[in-house]
């Protein structure tokens, strides 16, 4: 029998045309386009690329934008459901609940045709930021802010979250965050979504599978953990001691390491540049300097001394950016989901298009032929 690969490490489970990772070179592409080029676009352009397989022309982009505008808002029934949520929960839990409810209201729910799934995909991309922002506003006893059709996806989210238009740099950072978060090959949440889709269950169920998986702290929940770690460090001067203590106790340093990348995560490098930009804009280097001290200590103690390739991943400097953007920590993972929904949907549509039930085997290592007492 084939050797067991714990965590399915290095196992090739399927073929895809959606994204490509070269972990040795630190390379990430969406449909053949490098992530460093993609961040020059808008999130809607990148979403169109992922779902339809090509960048939109002007007419296609206008049509896609109009569909987003038409589907962004949420009705009173959804708002009433948000009002009865436990406000101490993470935004992910509220988002998961609302997506499950929205499936009940969609006449295309059990139609897995390409046309129907494209319609559902557009609705989901449009509504994710509105749901997350509305949940936060309601939990803070503030009026819900409805979408502004003149704003980009990233700017709109910050506007709905805070009640005022963001600065240009803040809007650009949020837009870039959604683009970088959108897709990353067969990560845990994407795999769980594809497994659900492979059963020919509906696309809402597949997305709910992705949401549940993304929440974990070894996946998207790491951003929340990074923000909590930053809060535990009183000042940049204390960061080295804090990090050395974690290393000596062999505890996980949140936001570091990746199963695939053996060098710098290209997403993390982009986020680091944005983090220092927003720090300088805010005239407050505290969070950035703390993060830099953590990174330097990890590099000296683990990369240089132990020759282990442990570098910041996508979550580390994303957590720093969220601190400067004043994203509430309990929303951190759901903000990640606002971007990742585009990739999940692309993978589900690809799975439906050439489907085979995903059903791996397990190697049994227990006892055999145990006889019950008479």
- Taking only the tens place, the pLDDT of each residue in 134-187 is 999 999 999 999 999 999 999 999 999 999 999 999 999 999 999 999 999 999
3-state helix, strand, coil in the chain (%, to 5): 60, 5, 35
In a domain, 6, yes or no: no
20: in domain: yes
Domain membership flag for residue 362: no
Asked if 55 and 168 sit in the same domain, the reply is yes
| CATH code, 290 | 1.10.230.10
**175 and 227 part of one domain:** no
Count of domains for the chain:
2
pLDDT band for 1, please (50, 70, 90 cuts): low
Residue 165 lies in a domain: yes
105-114 confidence digits (pLDDT tens): 999 999 999 9
Within this chain, do residues 191 and 167 fall inside the same structural domain, yes or no? Answer: yes
For the chain, the average pLDDT equals 95
Please determine, for residue 86, whether its predicted confidence score (pLDDT) is greater than 60.
yes
What is residue 12's predicted lDDT score, i.e. its pLDDT?
Answer: 87
CATH number reported for the structural domain that contains residue 67 in this entry? 1.10.580.10
What residues are annotated to the active site?
Answer: 219, 258, 315
Q: What strands lie across the sheet with 27-30, from one edge to the other?
A: 19-22, 27-30, 33-34
The answer to whether residues 179 and 245 belong to one domain is no
Q: 43 lies in which domain range?
A: 14-215+331-353
Domain boundary pick from 286, 305, 325: 325
Can you tell me the mean pLDDT for 256-266?
92
pLDDT at position 158 is: 98
Residues in the chain: 374
Query: Which residues in 326-339 are b (16+ Cβ under 10 Å) and which e?
Result: ebbbbbbbbbbbbb
374 has a pLDDT exceeding 80: no
Furthest CA-CA distance within the chain: 78
Do 32 and 119 reside in the same domain of the chain?
A: yes
Of residues 371, 346, 367, the one with CA closest to residue 182 = 346
- What would the mean pLDDT of 1-24 be, rounded to a whole number? 88
Q: Are residues 69 and 199 in the same domain?
A: yes
Position 5 in a domain: no
Query: Does residue 201 sit in the same domain as residue 234?
Result: no
pLDDT at 335: 98
Distance CA 206, CA 209 (A): 5
Poorest-pLDDT segment among 46-55, 117-126, 250-259, 338-347: 250-259
Do 274 and 159 belong to one domain? Answer: no
How large is the average pLDDT for residues 327-337?
Answer: 97
């Amino acid at each position: 029998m084939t050797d067991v690969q714990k965590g399915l490490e290095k196992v090739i489970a399927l073929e895809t045309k959606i994204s490509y990772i070269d972990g040795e070179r630190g390379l990430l592409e969406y449909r053949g386009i490098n992530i460093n080029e993609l961040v020059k676009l808008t999130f809607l352009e990148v979403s169109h690329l992922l779902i339809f397989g090509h960048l939109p022309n002007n007419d296609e982009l206008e049509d896609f934008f109009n569909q987003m505008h038409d589907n962004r808002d949420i009705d009173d029934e959804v708002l009433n459901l948000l009002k009865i949520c436990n406000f101490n929960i993470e935004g992910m839990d509220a988002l998961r609940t609302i997506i499950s409810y929205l499936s009940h209201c969609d006449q295309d729910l059990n139609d897995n045709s390409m046309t129907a799934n494209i319609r559902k995909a557009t609705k989901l991309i449009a509504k994710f930021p509105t749901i997350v922002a509305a949940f936060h506003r309601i939990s803070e006893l503030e009026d819900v802010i409805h979408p502004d059709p003149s704003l980009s996806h990233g700017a709109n989210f910050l506007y709905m979250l805070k009640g005022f238009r963001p600065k240009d740099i803040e809007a650009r950072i949020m837009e870039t965050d959604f683009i970088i978060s959108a897709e990353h090959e067969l990560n845990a949440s994407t795999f769980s979504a594809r497994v659900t889709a492979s059963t020919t269950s509906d696309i809402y169920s597949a997305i709910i599978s992705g949401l549940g998986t993304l929440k974990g702290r070894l996946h998207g929940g790491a951003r929340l953990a990074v923000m909590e770690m930053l809060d535990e460090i009183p000042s940049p001067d204390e960061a080295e001691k804090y990090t050395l203590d974690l290393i000596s106790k062999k505890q996980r340093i949140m936001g570091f390491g990746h199963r695939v990348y053996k060098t710098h995560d290209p997403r993390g490098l982009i986020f680091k540049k944005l983090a220092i930009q927003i720090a300088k804009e805010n005239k407050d280097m505290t969070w950035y300097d703390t993060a830099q001290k953590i990174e330097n200590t990890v590099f000296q103690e683990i990369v240089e001394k132990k020759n282990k390739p442990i570098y910041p991943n996508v979550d580390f400097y994303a957590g720093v950016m969220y601190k400067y953007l004043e994203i509430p920590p309990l929303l951190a993972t759901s903000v990640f989901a606002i971007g990742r929904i585009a990739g999940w949907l692309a993978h589900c549509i690809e799975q439906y298009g050439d489907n085979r039930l995903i059903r791996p085997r397990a190697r049994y290592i227990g006892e055999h032929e145990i006889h019950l007492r008479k």
